[in-house]
Structure 1
Amino acid sequence: MAEGSVYDVIVVGAGIMGSFTAYNIRRTGKSTLLLEQFPLPHSRGSSHGQSRTIRSAYGSQEYYTKMMTKAFRMWRELEDQSCQILFRQTGLLCIGQKGVNYLDDTADCLQRHKTPFRRLNDAELRETYPMLSYPPEIGGAVIDYSGGLLLSGRALAAVQNQYRKLGGLIHDGEKMVEVIPGEVIMVKTEAGQYRAKAVVLCVGPWANNVLTKLGIAVPLQAQKIRVCYWKEKTPGTFSSRQFPVFSQINAIGPHLVYAVPSEEYPGLVKVCLHYGPSIDPNVRDKIDDSWVVEALQKYILEHIPGLEPFPAITESCIYTNTPDEDFILDHHPSWENIVIGAGFSGHGFKLAPVIGDILAKMATGQTPEQDISFFRLNRFTKSHL
């Protein structure tokens, strides 16, 4: 666009949420600029890496299951547009615990939404998946047959490419330094300044810093997550063709452990703790998180004896958590044309097509079809404007 022009929408943050938001806005013909502080692709945020889990199963949080119906459809649409495979349907094995209602809630929700599933008692679980070792407190499992894994790095590139094909602009390696609200918003970066009728902020772990400057105190916490890959002792045991994605609640203390079968690195299984130490995202790697690997080594020895108990590869990413692990999808309390998408709490990637559609509608004066009352800022924030 010519210097001095006003964009319909500027989206800040080119992770999976910001990229889908910009893409959905651009599909309506609106002029759109997507800003990213790091050169693309990068591994400093929350959207890099090769795989993410995808599922309909969400326990008592049925509003996410409802959103996943549309998300699956939109992922398939992106596959068709990009002529790439982005989703492997392996099923998701949810391992429960005696005395916890999670499996009952999950099965009830899947049944209401007509999602294929199977409930396994302890004996059936041990017979069906003998490569896992189960402690006495295990309370059976649910298989969500809709689940599997997303090829996340490929998916992020695919949505950005589709956005570019529609004429959308991406300025990467350009850090935002200020947002000046108004009827026309000014966005200043280290390289220049831009104007827009609306701005969407999808800035991931940097949300606290950005929102505080806009007069909003949000209880967001960034966590460093150690991503570990473990070698199969017998090649093929945990292939994605015969072994599902799985998650086990209360696996290490109160925290969930999840695993992705051998797919992205041949012969290596991704097993991770859904938790990590609190960090400043600008100095992510200064924190000592060696205890995470040690806890996972013990878990592997006790529960997945078919894997070598030493990680072959370790990587890192960042979660941005809200206290209730629900997202923030809302307008700025004083400026309707500033839209906030934040706090995706380590489970948002699979929902990104729908989140992007919601944020796009909010930024362009439309009403999202989904119920977003669960995601309002005022459930735990106080404006100090």
Structure 2
Amino acid sequence: MTIPKSTEVVVVGAGCFGLSTAYHLLKRGFTHVTVLDRSPELPAPEAASTDINKIVRSSYADPFYAGLARDAIAAWKDTAEWGDTYHESGVLVLLEGSGSYANKAFENDKAIGARTEILRDAEALRAAFPPGVEACSFEGRSGYINRDGGWAHATQGVKFAMNKVAELGGKVLSGKAVVELLKEDGQTKGVRCGDGSVYPAGLVVLSAGSWSAASFPSLGLGEKCVATGQTVGKIQLTQEEADIYRGNPVYLDLNTGFYVFPPNEQNVVKCAIHAAGYTHATPATEHAPVSSPVFPQASGTDIGTLVPRAALHELGDALRAVFPALARKPWCGTRLCWYTDSPDEDWVIGFHPADANIMLATAGSGHGYKFLPVIGRLVADAIEGTLPTELVRKFALDRQKNEVPVSRPWSQIRNLDLADLVGPAAIV
């Protein structure tokens, strides 16, 4: 099926997938691209991609993502396109032994030509941090640094992407919550928003992130696009303290999932655990219940500041085990960050099996942001029918589970208990 470049394309969601898709379609000559987002403010404050930083790494056990991340890093380095969004601090990855996710990632990093440095023992690991940084002993451990990696200012990158879409003639509209897919002869022909506005479309790209399954229950996305909440913690340092940690690489333990960034310009250190997270099931309707995001907050605080008590304890313990001095500082902020996960951590990109006018572009599975400059290229290829067959199969909604190593076991997902949430002032 050939989709004319004059087709009215409506993209639902102004996050990483949606904006990158719009950008690449416009670059290829599509002339009518409109991005709709439910949030009255863009970038959406509650979106996973709206954050102070995200890891940019090519350290993947799957060679496909390692190679694509290499392409993304090259794109991030183009300051004419992305300004100073990308910061190449390096990424320190702990190794676990032959056959582990981390060791496969190391082999892939070497194979694609990344600048890697093996850290064979505890002494080498400790020496990877600047003088004055209080770190754990790392006794019996080894790891490596990938110098071709670091972190990106997440919100800034999204703003750049929004501007690129507008500069190329696309529209990005806020306050447009899509509540209905308009059908004709069983095929989607447009969308209706909660404010009553209607947008006809020859193609609808669904990039609604963690709202995907709950917002469109008739599409049956619940088992392949699961909304999971991840706990994030932030610590405010003084200028003097921050200067000590400023030269840190991003720290990433792919076995436990714990990661921590160097301080940003505001001297804030962010950390989290790349884990299976928490689900929040919606009440049953005529469709099966699915997980949907919820943003509990204390009175007068920013959106989504309350997090599971157990997760905050685990985060504090993980920080204490690596950087004890940081763990002695109070949390200055917490957040429940909602991702859209697939069971095998592969993305969902492709036409819906029951509706050829719907292109799915979602299920970032906690590792989508770093690909912001290039991920829309894959979606555009899928729309134009040029995506390689092996990737069509890899990203298909109705695929069999891809047998690739996962970084966070699906079996560890927990149910969110709204009665047991705490804010950053909680003592951990």
Q: What CA distance in whole angstroms lies between the structure 1 residues aligned with 2:220 and 2:381?
A: 24
Q: What CA distance in whole angstroms lies between the structure 2 residues aligned with 1:103 and 1:44?
A: 31
Match of 1:199 among 204, 215, 219: 204
TM-score where L is the length of structure 1 = 0.87
Q: What CA distance in whole angstroms lies between the structure 1 residues aligned with 2:99 and 2:326?
A: 28
Match of 1:186 among 180, 187, 190: 190
1:73 deviates by 3.0
TM-score where L is the length of structure 2 = 0.78
Give secondary structure in 2 for the equivalent of 1:336: strand
Q: What CA distance in whole angstroms lies between the structure 2 residues aligned with 1:72 and 1:148?
A: 9
Q: Which amino acid aligns with 1:225?
A: Q
Residue 352, structure 1, aligned to residue 352, structure 2: no
Q: What CA distance in whole angstroms lies between the structure 1 residues aligned with 2:255 and 2:259?
A: 11
1:75 deviates by 2.5
Q: Tell me the alpha carbon deviations over residues 311-354 of structure 1, each in whole angstroms, 9 at most, x when there is no partner.
A: 12223321111111111111111322311012111111001222
After superposition, the Cα gap between the structure-2 partners of 1:208 and 1:235, relative to the gap in structure 1 and judged at 3 Å, is: closer
Query: Are the aligned partners of 2:242 and 2:263 in contact in 1 as well (CA < 8 Å)?
Result: no
Give secondary structure in 2 for the equivalent of 1:177: strand
Unaligned runs of 5+ in 2: 1-5, 281-290, 298-305, 402-428
Match of 2:147 among 139, 145, 155: 145
> Which residue number in structure 2 is paired with residue 332 of structure 1?
352
Query: Are the aligned partners of 2:181 and 2:188 in contact in 1 as well (CA < 8 Å)?
Result: no
Bigger Cα displacement from structure 2, 30-39 vs 332-341: 332-341
Query: Are the aligned partners of 1:330 and 1:340 in contact in 2 as well (CA < 8 Å)?
Result: yes
More strand by share: 1
Give secondary structure in 1 for the equivalent of 2:398: helix
After superposition, the Cα gap between the structure-2 partners of 1:86 and 1:370, relative to the gap in structure 1 and judged at 3 Å, is: farther
Query: Are the aligned partners of 1:92 and 1:143 in contact in 2 as well (CA < 8 Å)?
Result: yes
After superposition, the Cα gap between the structure-2 partners of 1:349 and 1:20, relative to the gap in structure 1 and judged at 3 Å, is: same
1:104 deviates by 2.8
Query: Are the aligned partners of 1:12 and 1:203 in contact in 2 as well (CA < 8 Å)?
Result: yes
Q: What CA distance in whole angstroms lies between the structure 2 residues aligned with 1:347 and 1:282?
A: 18
Q: What CA distance in whole angstroms lies between the structure 1 residues aligned with 2:74 and 2:354?
A: 35
Q: What CA distance in whole angstroms lies between the structure 2 residues aligned with 1:355 and 1:190?
A: 29
Bigger Cα displacement from structure 2, 23-32 vs 210-219: 210-219
After superposition, the Cα gap between the structure-2 partners of 1:81 and 1:97, relative to the gap in structure 1 and judged at 3 Å, is: closer
Q: Which amino acid aligns with 2:310?
A: W
> Which residue number in structure 2 is paired with residue 208 of structure 1?
213
Identity rate of aligned residues, in percent? 25
Q: What CA distance in whole angstroms lies between the structure 2 residues aligned with 1:281 and 1:75?
A: 31
1:133 deviates by 0.5
Q: What CA distance in whole angstroms lies between the structure 2 residues aligned with 1:114 and 1:317?
A: 33
After superposition, the Cα gap between the structure-2 partners of 1:139 and 1:374, relative to the gap in structure 1 and judged at 3 Å, is: farther
Query: Are the aligned partners of 1:94 and 1:246 in contact in 2 as well (CA < 8 Å)?
Result: yes
> Which residue number in structure 2 is paired with residue 228 of structure 1?
233
> Which residue number in structure 2 is paired with residue 258 of structure 1?
259
Counting matched residue pairs gives: 364
> Which residue number in structure 2 is paired with residue 131 of structure 1?
134
After superposition, the Cα gap between the structure-2 partners of 1:106 and 1:288, relative to the gap in structure 1 and judged at 3 Å, is: closer
> Which residue number in structure 1 is paired with residue 381 of structure 2?
361
1:7 deviates by 4.8
Bigger Cα displacement from structure 2, 39-48 vs 283-292: 283-292
Q: Which amino acid aligns with 2:77?
A: R
1:28 deviates by 2.4
Give secondary structure in 2 for the equivalent of 1:320: strand
Q: What CA distance in whole angstroms lies between the structure 2 residues aligned with 1:374 and 1:52?
A: 25
> Which residue number in structure 1 is paired with residue 325 of structure 2?
306
Q: What CA distance in whole angstroms lies between the structure 2 residues aligned with 1:211 and 1:375?
A: 19
After superposition, the Cα gap between the structure-2 partners of 1:376 and 1:264, relative to the gap in structure 1 and judged at 3 Å, is: farther
Q: What CA distance in whole angstroms lies between the structure 1 residues aligned with 2:163 and 2:309?
A: 37
Bigger Cα displacement from structure 2, 11-20 vs 187-196: 187-196
Query: Are the aligned partners of 2:23 and 2:165 in contact in 1 as well (CA < 8 Å)?
Result: yes
Query: Are the aligned partners of 2:212 and 2:221 in contact in 1 as well (CA < 8 Å)?
Result: no
Query: Are the aligned partners of 1:91 and 1:145 in contact in 2 as well (CA < 8 Å)?
Result: yes
Q: Tell me the alpha carbon deviations over residues 195-220 of structure 1, each in whole angstroms, 9 at most, x when there is no partner.
A: 11111100111111244323555333
Query: Are the aligned partners of 2:16 and 2:368 in contact in 1 as well (CA < 8 Å)?
Result: no
Written as runs of structure 1 = structure 2, the 5 A alignment for 1:55-94 is 55-58=57-60, 60-77=61-78, 79-81=79-81, 84-94=83-93
> Which residue number in structure 1 is paired with residue 109 of structure 2?
110
Give secondary structure in 2 for the equivalent of 1:161: helix
1:184 deviates by 6.6
> Which residue number in structure 1 is paired with residue 425 of structure 2?
none
Q: Which amino acid aligns with 1:114?
A: G
Q: What CA distance in whole angstroms lies between the structure 2 residues aligned with 1:112 and 1:66?
A: 9
Bigger Cα displacement from structure 2, 45-54 vs 223-232: 223-232
Q: Which amino acid aligns with 1:36?
A: D
Q: Tell me the alpha carbon deviations over residues 272-324 of structure 1, each in whole angstroms, 9 at most, x when there is no partner.
A: 11233222545332775121211122222232123143312223321111111
1:167 deviates by 1.4
Unaligned runs of 5+ in 1: 1-5
Q: Tell me the alpha carbon deviations over residues 108-160 of structure 1, each in whole angstroms, 9 at most, x when there is no partner.
A: 11121111101111232134336321454x53111111110111111100110
Q: What CA distance in whole angstroms lies between the structure 1 residues aligned with 2:262 and 2:255?
A: 20
Q: What CA distance in whole angstroms lies between the structure 2 residues aligned with 1:102 and 1:353?
A: 25
Q: Tell me the alpha carbon deviations over residues 80-110 of structure 1, each in whole angstroms, 9 at most, x when there is no partner.
A: 135x211000110001335662343122111
Q: Which amino acid aligns with 1:32?
A: V
Residue 238, structure 1, aligned to residue 245, structure 2: yes
